[in-house]
Amino acid sequence: MKKTWLLGFGFFSISITWALYNAFVPFFLDKFLTSTALIGFMMTIDNYFALFLQPWIGSRSDRTNTRLGRRMPYLLIGMPLAALFGALIPWHTSLLTLVLFMVLMNLSMSLYRSPTVALMPDITHDSKRTKANGIINFMGGIGSIIAFAGGSFLYEKHHSLPFLVASILTLICLVILLNNIKEKRDALSYSPAEEKTKISFKEQWNRPTIFLLGAIFFWFLSYQGVEAFFTLYGTKHLQLTEGQSSFSLAFFSLAFVAAAIPSGLLGNRFGKKLIITLGVIGLIVIFAAISFADALLPLRTLLIVGGICWAMININSYPFIVSLGKEQSIGTRTGIYYLISSLAAIASPPLMGGLIDLLGYSVLFYFSSGGMVIALLFLLCVKDKGLARPVSDPSISTSL
């Protein structure tokens, strides 16, 4: 568990960077673009890289063999570059330079995102992966809270400060990971023969995997639309200030953090599918209810409950998809997971932006609730008997 907490610093750096990117880059784009749909399209740049690069890099890292291990070389290259280009984003002088810095930052992030995620199952037994995923997402949630709460304060002081602080924290996290995670020492199995074994995408597909990926696509379709447009929804539909709008997301993230470890424990005790299903049902109700919230208190209250439901989904979904494949295919299945979630993230903001242009911002949460309904239908088709059984873990009673 000590190694899991340390690995959480990698997720911390990813979360704080993406949270700031999604919260404040739309404001930069809004100065140059009048179409909400076009802003939504620009916010999907990272997902185009994820669509093509992350599956390949995830699979490639399964077969990488260096002195530092399978995954760590990708972190060593990608994290410093992401820190550099992320810090440059608020210093854009035109739409061209803004897009250039966005592309370079997203390209850099794509180099290490899948390997970072794949490190968790590498160093964690299958029976403890939902609990471990809760821990690392707890760390990621802390990063999101800092981004939305502290970032809002820093943004009002100067637009560059949140991005500069995030870049410094990314470099600090890289040092922590390099000094504490030694793959050839900490990985459960580290065989050069396995590294050279080619794991193809074709070998990964089975019926439960296909239905689960369908569910993942639609719940990310819903979530990504909310994430991309919530700050604009707050300012343009609810008449909140930019600071109030971005700070409201901290309530969602705070609830996610509080529920992250319990969600992992619940998934381990009662089964991943059951806990995910309860979370999906919860978000169907919450997203529909937010459409009627017209004041900060009910809005933030609903966001708290929504954060708990999202934790139940997000904490258990990645270990679920990994459990449906072989141990030697962890990086490959991580890439497939990001392939599907990235397809959703590519489709959602432009689609949502177009609907907003036609129908107004009130459509945002109706759309998201409907996407969750479709995700639920796919999830109910996943027959996980013998594939993702609840695991009796004697350490649960004494764990956090």
For 109-163, write each residue's pLDDT tens digit: 888 888 888 888 888 877 777 888 888 888 887 887 788 778 878 888 898 999 9
pLDDT given at position 394: 33
pLDDT given at position 337: 85
- CA-wise closest residue to 8 among 128, 161, 177: 177
Q: Which CATH number fits domain 2-398: 3.10.620.30, 3.90.1580.10, 1.20.1250.20, 1.10.230.10?
A: 1.20.1250.20
pLDDT-flagged residues of the chain (< 70): 47, 50, 186, 188-205, 325-329, 384-400
pLDDT given at position 194: 47
Dump the DSSP string for 266-326: HHHHH-HHHHHHHHHHHHHHHHHHHTT--SHHHHHHHHHHHHHHHHHHHHHHHHHHHHTS-
- CA-wise closest residue to 51 among 123, 129, 125, 107: 107
- CA-wise closest residue to 122 among 388, 336, 329: 329
Question: Which DSSP state fits 68?
Answer: T
* Distance in angstroms (rounded) separating the CA atoms of residues 47 and 24: 18
pLDDT given at position 328: 62
pLDDT given at position 193: 42
Can you tell me whether residue 386 is helix, strand or coil? coil
pLDDT given at position 36: 76
- 92, with CB counted inside 10 A (0-12, 13-18, 19+), is middle
CB-CB neighbours of 158 under 10 Å: 10
pLDDT given at position 302: 93
Question: Which DSSP state fits 69?
Answer: B
